[in-house]
Amino acid sequence: MSSPVPDTIRPIRFDDGRLHLLDQRLLPSESRENGYEDPASVADAIRDMVVRGAPAIGITAAFGVVLACDRARDRNTAPWRPSVEAAIDRLAASRPTAVNLFWALDRMRAVLAGCGSVAEACAATLAEAQAMLQADIAANRRMGAIGAALIDPGRAVLTHCNTGSLATGGFGTALGVIRASWAEDRITEVFADETRPWLQGSRLTAWELLRDGIPVQLLCEGAAASLLRSGRVGWVVVGADRIAANGDTANKIGTYGLALLARAHGAGLMVVAPLSTIDFEIADGSAIPIEMRAEAEVLGLGGQRVAAPGARAWNPAFDVTPADLIDVIVTEQGAVHRPDREGLAALRGLVDR
């Protein structure tokens, strides 16, 4: 018998002209919201990982445009459009890989194009950003149901990074599938990689699941091979930051290795992402820009250096999994099995760009 699907976390809200973000750098030891009133600080919050996860980044950037319009109105900036465009450019530069960021900003530009005054822009962009937030939550719930239906009962799932409410407007993508599957008694247990170097699995995914009453076991990435070899895991369920037109998928570094391990050990690989994550302008994964982050993230932990003096670090934030290693891509409009260019092309007309 199915149970109510647990869903209690909302990391993004906008009240009284102020954007509030749950600071994910502090979890799980501290749950604190930061308030933002100008677009530059929102761009910094995205870059500095206060908010992360492709859908959440896009929604946050949309509210950053709202703040840019509010700022131009309050300062009586004339003309107002150049200051808003400058804010959009700064938001676009905050992180390069997540296509949802650029998708959201393009939507906001389209809204602004139809506005004749800054007052109209303030109202129109706020309505659009709020609509994007609510649409994301609804889409995640649809993906959760679609993905759960593909999971045969009786085995565990393994996930990587954080793809839950914290990475979206709410409910989550891959973690939404896990939430729905748990409520339907389709999975026996949940495993989560620690996800180094930011430990999103350890700090964020574990926090989300436990808060919603779903038990989770953490493992170092290096333990995934042994876990998959044991046969306990039926599916590896992950999210995506950008999907190319042929199905190649950029996701948190380590996903490609999991894909190889899943294929070697007979587990399925499910990628769960909204249609806005598919970049039909990129032919394949070789064209996806991969963000390189600071060496200090690998050389230290919790602000304390742990590496030997003089050691360097290679720190890509993402890797690309070839489409032929992916068993299914789940979107809010349905699932594409054995994804390829033709399968994804059928979804193109459904993308609201």
239-282 confidence digits (pLDDT tens): 999 999 999 999 999 999 999 999 999 999 999 999 989 999 99
Q: Is the dihedral of CA 108, 110, 111, 112 positive or negative?
A: positive
Domain count, the chain: 2
Contact 70, 108 (CB under 8 A): no
Looking at 89, 112, 140, which one is the last position of a domain? 140
Query: Is residue 7 assigned to a domain?
Result: no
pTM over 0.75: yes
Q: How many Cβ atoms sit within 10 Å of the Cβ of residue 305?
A: 11
Query: Is residue 230 assigned to a domain?
Result: yes
- 218 and 136 share a domain? no
Q: Give me 347's structure tokens.
A: 């979804």
Q: What is the pLDDT of residue 54?
A: 86
Helix or strand run (H / E) with residue 143: helix 118-148
Query: Is residue 153 assigned to a domain?
Result: yes
| Low-confidence stretches of the chain (pLDDT beneath 50) | 1, 352-353
**Of 144, 147, 336, the residue nearest 235 (C-alpha):** 147
Q: Which residues are catalytic?
A: 241
Q: What is the pLDDT of residue 2?
A: 60
Looking at 140, 169, 200, which one is the last position of a domain? 140
- Residue 39: CATH number of its domain: 1.20.120.420
- 165 and 133 share a domain? no
Query: Is residue 287 assigned to a domain?
Result: yes
Domain that holds residue 55: 12-140
Query: Is residue 245 assigned to a domain?
Result: yes
Query: Phi and psi for 162 in degrees, rounded to 5?
Result: -125, 125
